[in-house]
Every structure is written in structure tokens, then in C-alpha cells.
């Protein structure tokens, strides 16, 4: 398993932990970041991450995880531990 597989799974888990309408809002926001539709969130995020320069990927993951963690704290439910 590559690092971006785990990172895509981690971001997908955070989006899944959000209640509606925040879940769909997070997907729309991520689609605006990736500039692509995210039909299969985990797979599409993985391919997006693979295409990024490693420094950009690290920054994207760091900031996106922070934003999604904050969103889950206010609008979500517990994230299963993996």
C-alpha cells in the first residue's frame, strides 16, 4: 500500500464521518479543489494525490485533513479507527 492510498482512505473516512448536508458540501468542496468530479471518492482522491508533486501533495493533505477534522468536530460523528 502506497502512502497516498492511506491518505485517500483517511480523507474519505473524514468525509464519511460528516452528517448531511455537510457530507455533500465536503465532496463539492473537494471537487472544486481537484477540478474533477469525485464519483468514487476514495479512488478519485487517490488518483488526484498520485498526480501531485510530493511537496504539494503533503501540503494538500495537511490542510485538507485539518479542515475536515474541524468539520467532523462540529458536524460529524466518531471516525472509526483504522
pLDDT in tens, 4-63: 788 999 999 999 999 999 999 999 999 999 999 999 999 999 999 999 999 999 999 999
Which residue ranges make up each domain of the chain?
3-75
Reduce the DSSP state of residue 2 to 3 states and report it. Answer: coil
How far is residue 16's CA from residue 41's CA, in Å, rounded to a whole number? 10
Average pLDDT of the residues of the chain: 91
Beta strand segments in the chain, E: none
Band (pLDDT 50/70/90 cuts) for residue 78 is low
Angle of CA points 34, 21, 4, to nearest 5°: 35
- pTM score of the predicted model: 0.86
Band (pLDDT 50/70/90 cuts) for residue 77 is confident
How far is residue 42's CA from residue 12's CA, in Å, rounded to a whole number? 6
How far is residue 21's CA from residue 25's CA, in Å, rounded to a whole number? 6
Amino acid at each position: 500500500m502506497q502512502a497516498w492510498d492511506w491518505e485517500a482512505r483517511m480523507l474519505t473516512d473524514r468525509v464519511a464521518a460528516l452528517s448531511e448536508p455537510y457530507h455533500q458540501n465536503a465532496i463539492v468542496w473537494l471537487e472544486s479543489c481537484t477540478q474533477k468530479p469525485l464519483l468514487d471518492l476514495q479512488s478519485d482522491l487517490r488518483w488526484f494525490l498520485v498526480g501531485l508533486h510530493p511537496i504539494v501533495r503533503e501540503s494538500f493533505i495537511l490542510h485538507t485533513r485539518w479542515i475536515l477534522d474541524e468539520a467532523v468536530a462540529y458536524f460529524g460523528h466518531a471516525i472509526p479507527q483504522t
